Chain A
Amino acid sequence: MSQNDSQAILSVQRLSIEFGAKRVVDDLSFALYPRQTLCIAGESGSGKSLTSLAIMGLLPKQAHTPSGAIVFENRDLLSLAERERQQLRGKDIGMIFQEPMTSLNPLMTVGQQLAETLRRHEPLSRQAIAKRCREMLEAVRMPQVEKRLTQYPHELSGGMRQRVMIAMAMLCRPKVLIADEPTTALDVTIQAQILELMRELQQQYGTSLLLITHDMGVVAEMADQVVVMNQGRVEEQAPVRQLFATPQAAYTQKLLAAVPVLGSAGIPEDLSQQPALLEVRNLSVRFALRSGWFEAGKNVHAVENLNFDLRAGETLGLVGESGCGKSTTGKALMNMLAYEGSVKLLGQELNGLHGDALQRVRRDVQMVFQDPYAALNPRKTIFELVGEPLLIHDRLPNAPRRERVAQLLHQVGLPADAMARYPHQFSGGQRQRICIARALALNPKLIIADESVSALDVSVQAQVLELLEQLREEQGLSYLFISHDMAVVERICHRVAVMYGGQIVEIGRRDQVLHNPQHAYTKRLLSAVPLPDVERKRDFKSLLQEFRTPSPIKELGFVAPVQQFVQVSEEHAVAT
């Protein structure tokens, strides 16, 4: 290491950020060294994103920095004029954001957006700019670079857009790259690709990386140094190995304990003798695409020939990446969209039910959705929200309804006085508890949980999972647990079904599927999950290759080839 390497390239010194009188970041200090990766880890509201915006000079107008300094190359960024900061942004400090779907200008081509950055910071000729853009897209392993340059963002997938974002941030070879939750919105295999890319680029260009994330798996995978933040304060600052081996702060210990670790769960309780609650046979869902004057109509084959059983008291995990048809399956089981095939609940056929018969069945099947912020009507009180199913199905009078709602709230761990309040007065975790209470109101037999804990912070997530588990035991519920998160599925499910391209490719006990995967897709999926364990760093290089998902859009009259399953062991079946 040269003398230069030992000096911090970016250091944040006793930085505070306030919104009005409210302090959201308090006395934060850290230093980023050349070629190193510093992770700021923390849950929502910890102030980690605001810190990154403060470094970029992009804080919202209402925020101000009453004290502290951000020193970059011996200059305090906070004291620079806006014009000088503009010259640093994008040139010496680049940034990637969380939402690749909305972070690119929809009206400009990829090439235009890339060239714009270079033109701003470097006096190059047209040809030189085009050449640099092309090289950078190649560096982020973009397939078909020439074509991409002329495409608009909406023509690219989320992963591709995030590659464009990275290319754009790296174009001027910045000394520091800030990545704010760069992979949170992406599927795990795409996440692995992006993480691998950032590692490669960091080595290639000698960039220092400031990575902001809530995912301890990503931290373990990427970090050299870690800052753990909570409520705007630093809880702990340590080298990554030390942080995971001997966490000092109580908060860090709690956080690490709450993180579900893939591969840690044992053999689940044996429920194979239980009767089947739900029998799904040849379930298919198709969406018709509108036909034009000169085009024949086409169908989107969202779900193709699904077969599985759900036993009484069992939790079945349905995992897969976005677009694999897992949520569509959940909706079909709720009879919320038209499907083909047979779904039987306790022997009663659900397909084709409508009117009163459907209404009666819906008592037994309830749903808990992903976003607790959007799932509750903000104009209704908790009493009205949780009591609504009772009103609809039983026309329960006010007094007994109030009693029942209080009881339900107690079951999900909320005080009875919550009844008079409105959803905005609760945190995300509490709202999800309210959603669960509402689902429980009619004593259902089956709850379909569609990504129900995905939007929650890990510590809250752990609590909600515990609640679900406890309710299952007390009330003999069964869950169909739809999730993209392998570790969460492993923690709560008895059996797991892996979906890919609208079909189940592997199904079995959780330990069978997740510890001994047989299907190529399951293997690929599992190898992409970052583990919160520094001793087991993963090599994502093999994942960088394109893995082409077959298009679900098929001509009319297309009949999918019948899947053949091989029985690996008892309960464990794999599609060939």
Chain B
Amino acid sequence: MLTFIGRRIGYSLLILLGVSLITYLLLFMLPADPARQIAGRSATPEVVAGIRAQLGLDLPFYQQYAHYLGNLLQGDLGRSYIQRSEVTELLGSRLQPSLELMAAGIGFELLIGISLGVIAALRRGGIADRLLTALSFIGVSAPQFIAAMLFLYFFAVQLEWFPMGGYGGLKHLMLPALTLGLLGSGWYSRMVRSSMIEVLHQDFIRTARAKGLSRARVVLRHVLPNAIVPIIPMIGIDIGVFMGGLVVVESVFGWPGIGQLAWQAIQQVDIPVIVGVTTICAVAIVLGNLIADLVIPLIDPRIDIKKH
């Protein structure tokens, strides 16, 4: 168990190293010049050059990157070019709102996705199934910003059920979380449906029915747990896609999270912040996958991580 976790953490560090290198390289090659951004339109070339030297941007790439890595090892993600504060502070203050939204969003995703998938599988071929298939297609293919705008318009402007945006209590959380959940649920409902249908044809389901168990018990105790097993690793993988949605949804709803920070940083070519956000996202994805791998053996006793 411990060796498994240890090895996985080792791999994770390598992945993170790769991610930071690629992000740093991409930003280095970007035609936009952060020094010019900071200096403003009317600055003289000397001023721009001065800023560049001050930020260390005139150094060759490998030196910049080595410098960054050295600081990273000390827990220092650098200073924001624009906001004149530490990146760790910026991220820290926005971590909690983002985690709240993520938890609520993934919760809704699973709740909606799994229940719709179960209904579709049990009513296979019926009207409900076909309707849900169509809906999940819309969910999967609708762009987040349009869906977010529509939700904002209907539920906040027209119906006034929820506030227009901003950070606050449960009421503020509901609408962005529902947007994320509804859009992401299509994927899960498709997978739960096919996984359920497969399990429904298994011999042990026939056994369960032969025992005289009620239909509800057969579905909840025998079909569902078996159908969920292949879904769990998907949650780990889905976190990456989810992060993309987070950037858009947070910006639309004015949610003061990491996604919004990323959005602002990208517009201002605030490289340390962009790299910081990317690193945090990579950590989240790696962590999500690790947790998924650790949870599966709790549900499926056939999977023994000691053997991996």
Contacts and interface: CB of A to CB of B under 8 A. Distances in A.
Interface stretch (A102-110, A218-226, A504-512): A102-110
B225 interface: yes
Contact of B203 (A86, A103, A294): A103
Contacts of B212: 86-91, 117, 120-121
A291 B213 CA distance: 44
Nearest to A82: B215
Contact of B204 (A58, A89, A90, A102): A102
A488 interface: no
A107 B224 CA distance: 11
B213 A104 contact: no
Given A103-B204, A105-B204, A293-B3, A94 B301 contact: no
Contacts of A103: 203-204, 206-207
Contacts of B306: 292
- Chain A interface category by residue count: 20 to 34
B218 to A, nearest CB: 10
A4 B144 CA distance: 72
B202 A102 contact: yes
A137 interface: no
Given A106-B226, A107-B300, A58 B206 contact: yes
A441 interface: no
Contact of A154 (B206, B211, B302): B302
A107 B225 contact: yes
B3 A56 contact: no
Interface string A89-120: 11100110101001111111000000011001
B211 A106 contact: no
Contacts of B302: 106, 152, 154
A95 B209 CA distance: 10
A165 B208 CA distance: 11
User: Which residue, A102, A105, A168, has most C-beta atoms of chain B within 10 A?
Assistant: A105
B211 A117 contact: yes
A107 B199 CA distance: 12
User: Which residue, A88, A91, A103, A165, has most C-beta atoms of chain B within 10 A?
Assistant: A103
Interface string B196-233: 00000011101111111111010001100110010000
Contacts of A105: 204, 207-208, 222, 226
A95 B225 CA distance: 24
A88 B212 CA distance: 7
Contacts of B66: none
User: Which residue, B203, B204, B212, B222, has most C-beta atoms of chain A within 10 A?
Assistant: B212
B226 A102 contact: no
B43 interface: no
A90 B218 CA distance: 14
A294 B302 CA distance: 22
Given A102-B204, A105-B226, A56 B210 contact: yes
B149 interface: no
B9 interface: no
B203 A97 contact: yes
Given A89-B212, A102-B204, A107 B3 contact: no
Given A86-B214, A116-B213, A97 B301 contact: no
B203 A94 contact: no
B299 interface: yes
Interface string A347-366: 00000000000000000000
Interface in B279-308: 299-302, 306-307
Contacts of B202: 102
Interface in B13-36: none
A156 to B, nearest CB: 12
Contacts of B208: 105
A294 B2 CA distance: 12
B300 A97 contact: no
A97 B206 contact: yes
Given A99-B203, A107-B226, A294-B3, A89 B300 contact: no
A64 B155 CA distance: 49
Contacts of B301: 106-107, 152, 154
Contact of A165 (B207, B217, B222, B307): B207
Nearest to A151: B301
A82 to B, nearest CB: 8
Interface string A156-174: 0000000001001100000
User: Which residue, B213, B217, B306, has most C-beta atoms of chain A within 10 A?
Assistant: B213
Interface string B113-138: 00000000000000000000000000
Contacts of A82: 215
A56 B306 CA distance: 42
Contact of B211 (A168, A292, A294): A168
A91 B221 CA distance: 19
B17 to A, nearest CB: 23
A90 B210 contact: yes
A95 B210 contact: yes
B7 to A, nearest CB: 8
A405 to B, nearest CB: 37
Contacts of B299: 107
A116 B220 CA distance: 13
A91 B215 CA distance: 16
B209 A106 contact: no
Interface in A385-436: none
A86 B307 CA distance: 41
Contacts of A292: 3, 306-307
Nearest to A117: B211
User: Which residue, B3, B204, B210, has most C-beta atoms of chain A within 10 A?
Assistant: B210
B211 A120 contact: yes
B211 A116 contact: yes
Nearest to B225: A107
Contacts of A152: 301-302
Given A87-B212, A120-B217, A154-B301, 13 more contacts: A58-B209, A82-B215, A86-B212, A97-B207, A103-B204, A104-B207, A105-B204, A106-B204, A106-B302, A107-B229, A107-B301, A116-B221, A292-B307
Closest 10 CB pairs of A and B: A90-B212, A89-B212, A90-B211, A102-B203, A152-B301, A95-B210, A103-B203, A105-B204, A117-B211, A103-B207
Interface of B: 3, 202-204, 206-215, 217, 221-222, 225-226, 229, 299-302, 306-307
